[in-house]
Structure 1
Amino acid sequence: MNENTFLEKWNSEEPIYKAWGDFIVSQILDSLNERGIDPNIFLKISPKVRIKDQKSLIDKAYYRNKPYTNPYDEIEDKVGIRFVVLLTEDVASICEIIKSNDLWTTFIARDFEEEKSKDPLLFSYQSMHFILRPRHEIKFNHITIPTHIPCEVQIRTLLQHAHAELTHDAVYKTTNKIKPTVLRTVAKCMALIETTDSFFVEATRDLNSGPITEFKIIERLDSLYLSKIGLHSHNQKSSLIVFDAFEKFISEELIENIELLLNQHPYLINRIKARYSTISFYQQSYVLFVYWLLENKKYVTCNEWPLERKILEYLATDIGIGLIN
């Protein structure tokens, strides 16, 4: 296949490759949402489908001294997607989503965890690379995607991405001889990134430990809110402040106790519904927790309330109690 034939085929198939990349992104985003993970928060850079331009393709196929016998079919990154997350633990989550999807075949092109196991003294460019192909013919966006179409998916942490952006082309893909001092500096950077990531993971685990996480209070409170109010909760950062201030009252039985409170005071449900569209506080499931606090721990709640007191006054009026000056 000469260059002209290569480009003719690529021009005819480029929309198919783009559709395949878009399909993969949509599947992974849907899987994150199904797991209760907000992609807008979890993914640190919005995933975009990257199509290789013609010049780059021709250069890779014919001028980089690659051992291709059939370059068009052997180049597997004509379309690529990159997912950038915060921690290496998050990388594992995306990998699990990719491996568990039955709509494509998964080939691991690069596994930096495996590379570290084989060479524990190695500190170099890190990323997870998968090559995905449709297991069966797929139709997406009015385009038929045959089973031979590949897409390269890369998964990195934010720190790994920064390292790669600074060094990958300049160090790992260059044909020029790199000074040993530069290579050592790059390796030290990678070692520092691994160390920093381990500290981040440790800090995240400590921050997420405690009864709120252990008893899945927020998730269960959201579910109770939806079942009783019939509307979706949209908790803001202020909820974390309240949970933190009154963490000592959180137990495994808390949600059952809050449900009992709502059964005893069903008018609270109508109060929330009536104010849902006008006062944002009533759109958040932790309003139920504050009702319970006022009913059962009024003195401590009044003395230690961390937010604007006006909120507490609204809720005290709802539940029919007086606040302490």
Structure 2
Amino acid sequence: MQVRTLLQHAYAELVHDSVYKPVGPVPKKAERQIARSMALMETTDELFCNTMKLLCDTNKPRNDFLEELKELYINKIGGSYLNKEDKINYCFLDEYRVFIQDDLLIKLINLLNEKEYIPTKIQQRAMANLFFAQPVVIFAYWIAITEDSSKLQSEWPLPGYLNELRMILSDVGISSGIGY
């Protein structure tokens, strides 16, 4: 938005002082240059808008899934434990995007219903450990239990949260092999 505003302001200054209220004749070449600069501004604006739409469309499934995870977290863990940090959640979801399928939310609900200790563990840790206050923690438990835990460990995108990974793996009975 700032680029657009800056370009529009610069164009208005140039045109107002030099073309609409000139102190002398305005050459045809100058008028053509002004027309070209307006076309460039319109093209730049269109490119920026198209790029933003592409990014939004590309990330829509991930963003929608995060919203579903957030609702699941609130319903199963409790809204008072939620301290959502988008960077953590997006980083995690982007790394494990391959596991996001249409029926994943149902699988996560079933996991929390079958493994009743998981919501309790998350609640016990959420106030002291930021990762446990994130909706993606539920997804992390699911990956640890249902997928190859070595993949979870080798591709873990959050080096500052290795201890939390160890806790999750320990909760589900898997030795992490991650050094302290």
Tell me which of 18, 21, 34 is aligned to 1:176: 21
| Change beyond 3 A, Cα 1:164–1:266 | same
Conserved in 2, the CA contact under 8 Å of 1:222 and 1:233? no
Match of 2:113, SS state, is helix
Match of 2:158, SS state, is coil
Is 1:267 the counterpart of 2:117 in the alignment? yes
Equivalences, count: 169
Conserved in 2, the CA contact under 8 Å of 1:212 and 1:250? no
- Unpaired runs of 5+ residues, structure 2, are none
Conserved in 2, the CA contact under 8 Å of 1:215 and 1:252? no
Match in the other structure for 1:303: 154
Q: 1:288 & 1:248 partners in 2: Cα distance? A: 16
| Change beyond 3 A, Cα 1:286–1:208 | same
Q: Counterpart of 1:171 in structure 2: which amino acid?
A: V
| Change beyond 3 A, Cα 1:294–1:212 | farther
Is 1:196 the counterpart of 2:44 in the alignment? yes
Q: 1:183 & 1:158 partners in 2: Cα distance? A: 26
Give the 4+ runs in structure 1 shifted more than 6 A: none
Q: 1:212 & 1:289 partners in 2: Cα distance? A: 18
1:279-298 residue CA offsets vs partner (Å, 9 max, x unmatched): 22122111111111111111
RMSD: 2.8
User: TM-score, structure 2 length as denominator?
Assistant: 0.76
1:251 deviation in Å?
0.5
Match of 2:128, SS state, is coil
Q: 1:191 & 1:222 partners in 2: Cα distance? A: 44
Q: 2:14 & 2:51 partners in 1: Cα distance? A: 33
1:70-100 residue CA offsets vs partner (Å, 9 max, x unmatched): xxxxxxxxxxxxxxxxxxxxxxxxxxxxxxx
Q: 2:165 & 2:103 partners in 1: Cα distance? A: 23
Is 1:319 the counterpart of 2:172 in the alignment? yes
Structure ranking higher on relative contact order (CA contacts 8 Å, 6+ apart): 2
Spell out the pairing of 1:58-77 with structure 2 (5 A cutoff). Answer: none
Q: Counterpart of 2:7 in structure 1: which amino acid?
A: H
| Change beyond 3 A, Cα 1:202–1:256 | same
Is the strand fraction higher in 1 or 2? Answer: 1
1:234 deviation in Å?
1.1
